[in-house]
Amino acid sequence: MNYEFWFDGQPHGKDDLPIGYVFREEWQRPTIGGQVRIKGRNYKITRTSPAGNPTGQKVIYYVEPVNDNWPYRARK
């Protein structure tokens, strides 16, 4: 399956930006709330399109950077 990864612009009122795509087996499918490593940085999956992360179809994953300084990060 092909999985596309995009930066999620919705929480910030901006457009979504494509990062790229990868080919993974069906059993390696990421889930919402999980983390993936892209180009040496960790990203959290915030949403998918189509919603529900269905099997057997192309899924677009929207991600945002994970704050590596988590216990001390600024609260929103």
pLDDT digit string (tens) for 35-54? 888 888 889 999 998 888 77
Per-domain residue ranges for the chain? Answer: 2-72
What is the rounded CA–CA span in Å between residue 53 and residue 64? Answer: 17
- pLDDT number for residue 13: 79
Exposure string for 13-25, b = 16+ CB within 10 A, e = fewer: eeeeeebeeeeee
Sheet containing 2-7: order of strands: 17-23, 2-7, 59-65, 41-49, 35-38
- pLDDT number for residue 70: 62
Residues comprising the chain, all counted: 76
- pLDDT number for residue 73: 59
Taking the model in full, what pTM does it have?
0.77
Q: Are residues 45 and 8 in contact, defined by beta-carbon separation less than 8 angstroms? A: no
Across the chain, mean pLDDT equals 82
Question: What parts of the chain have a pLDDT lower than 70?
Answer: 68-76
